[in-house]
Amino acid sequence: MKRLCFLSPDPTHTRHVVADLLDAGIPEKHIYVVASSDTLHRNELTGLPDQGPEGNDFLAAWERGLAFGGIAGLFAGILVVTFPPAGLALGGGAVLLIGLAGSGLGGLLAGIAGAAFHSSRLSQFEKDLEQGKILVLVDVAANDRHQIEELIHKRDPGVIIEGIEPPTSLIPP
Amino acid sequence: MREDKATLRNLLIIGGTVLLMLLIFLIMARGIG
């Protein structure tokens, strides 16, 4: 599976391209249309596939928070066990538990904060999105890639199609 | 539609993490107490 992404200049063009892709046999669930909130609020994209999990950065931030929180928690656990607070007798299990708690807290806070931002995977398109352009993402089988690229070029010969790997998240979408 | 699904999944992750942390704190509280 390969994810192709390209910028479409306006909603009408997006509609045509998405219709072409659907005609080519790509299921709707493999197409994502990402736009800035301004464009979305003008309701010009009604009826098109939505941005799905690419809409915000929750999952990526959650994974980062989990890792950093876990590391910080482990260090805190080691610290507490090495220099125990007065009156507390802590065993090795405390390191593990404090590590897990740190991991959970880090993931939670980072995830909630990340949900307020655009997907960090799409940061290179941020400027174009703000200018009103629309980003279309298509998941295609590796073998069909050239055929689909030709199809997109037919509608707009100047379009630049980039390939990014589909997300390999911990939790399937 | 898919956006709603993604939001639901995020909420499930948040809920799961909160439950997990409650469990950890309970275990720790029992251990210390």
Going by C-alpha positions, the residue among A108, A112, A117, A111 that lies closest to residue A56 is A117
With an 8 Å Cβ cutoff, is A100 touching chain B?
Answer: yes
Contacts of A74 (CB under 8 A, 6+ apart): A95, A98, A99, A102
The region of weakest confidence among A53-57, A66-70, A155-159, A163-167 is A163-167
How far is Cα of residue A25 from the mean position of the Cα atoms in its chain?
Answer: 24
Bridge partners for A134 per DSSP:
A8
Mutate to test the interface with A, among B14, B22, B23, B30 (most CBs of A within 10 A): B14
Between B6 and A98, residue with greater pLDDT: A98
With an 8 Å Cβ cutoff, is B24 touching chain A?
Answer: yes
pLDDT digits (tens, 9 = 90+) for A45-77: 888 888 877 778 888 899 999 999 999 999 999
Size of interface A-B (CB pairs under 8 A): 58
Q: What is the pTM of this model?
A: 0.71
Q: What is the DSSP code (8-state) at residue A9?
A: S
Is pLDDT above 80 for A30?
yes
For A101, which of B1, B9, B25 is closest by C-beta distance? B25
Mutate to test the interface with A, among B2, B7, B9, B25 (most CBs of A within 10 A): B2
∠ CA A20-A26-A31, nearest 5°, is 85
pLDDT digits (tens, 9 = 90+) for B10-27: 889 999 999 988 998 898
